[in-house]
Amino acid sequence: MEKLIVFAALGYPGTANPALPAMPATWEELVESAVAAGKAGASIVHFHGPHDKDGKIVPDRWGRLVEEIRKRCDVLIDFGQAGAPLEQRKPLLQLGTGKPDFLAVSLTNHDYRRRHQERGDYDVYYQHPRQELEEYARCCLENGVKPHWEIWHLGGLWNLEYLAKQGLVAKPYWLELLFGTPGGSWSPPTIEEINHRINHLSPDSVYSVTARGTAGPIGQTRMLTFVIIKGGHVRLGTQDIAYYSEGVPAKSNAQIVERIVRVATELGREVATPDDTRRILHLPPAQAR
């Protein structure tokens, strides 16, 4: 069986909460969290970077975070915030030594409910029309960054096929299958639903599973254990679920990664290094970056 890619979604200072110590509260803590997650067994880390006072992405500061992480470890970098305007995200693909390995792109509209410690519950909506998806695919191809396609439901796979028929997507497709996020993009965080979506994937796909929100920390661990046995890959971390068990906050992203690495090891599945991950996803070697 293919080695297991462990993908750590770190969280970021904009979502920091004193009650959740694993969530990075500063950009320096985010770098530390990335390095520690890599040492614990993650081969990819995902984060959202700094914004200006108007809420716009500040690309060079994202790039400096990447450079700081790469000075200390060889973990691969995935830039998040797929809901941000495309025009703000284009410069992230042109950062030279601070350019990411992957860019998260949602293949369907965002429609989910979030909770803020001060604001309470609120709804988030972002539209991603096919014209925008075509532009994302072209920009990623031109700049040598692999799209990390977010699949919230089966409509995302229809859009992926649409892009592939136009020659805009390089194989293998790197897919993130998301479950449990409350809202109109919600899919039940169950083994049955995982199987249902996997059964519709192209054979040219490499997939990872994310269990968030309504899955809870124990449900997440059970689902990801199933995915390990199934032959897929796993994403977890404080951006998805910041608790280690019900009502018990995780101490760090590294602690969360360490548990899933133990599970994989007990099940006889070897964990991928960053170089293994580059081979699996057909990326150039680190020295060619």
Of the two residues 17 and 176, the one the predictor is more confident about is 176
Per-residue confidence (pLDDT) for residue 14, from 0 to 100: 77
Tell me the average pLDDT across 170-198.
95
Residue 1 lies in a domain: no
CATH number at residue 24: 3.20.20.70
Cis peptide before 172 (omega within 30 of 0): yes
> Residue 19: its pLDDT value, please?
87
* Overall domain count for the chain: 1
* In the block, residue with structure tokens 């995935």: 78
Does residue 275 sit in helix, strand or coil? helix
pLDDT of residue 118: 74
In a domain, 103, yes or no: yes
- Identify which of 212, 181, 238, 214 has the alpha carbon closest to the alpha carbon of residue 12: 238
- Note down the domain range covering 51: 6-288
Query: Among 121-130, 163-172, 173-182, which is the least confidently predicted range?
Result: 121-130
> Is the per-residue pLDDT at 226 higher than 80?
yes
CA distance 275 to 289: 12
The span from the CA of 224 to the CA of 232, in Å, is: 9
Sign of the Cα pseudo-torsion (230, 218, 107, 168, in order):
negative
Write down the mean pLDDT value for the chain: 95
Confidence of residue 114 (pLDDT cuts 50, 70, 90): confident
Residue 86 lies in a domain: yes
Whole-model pTM: value is 0.95
pLDDT at 51: 95
Asked if the model's pLDDT at residue 54 lies above 90, the reply is yes
- CA dihedral of residues 258, 260, 263, 264 (deg, nearest 10): -100
pLDDT at 288 over 70: no
Amino acid 289: pLDDT? 60
Q: How far is CA 259 from the centre of its chain?
A: 18
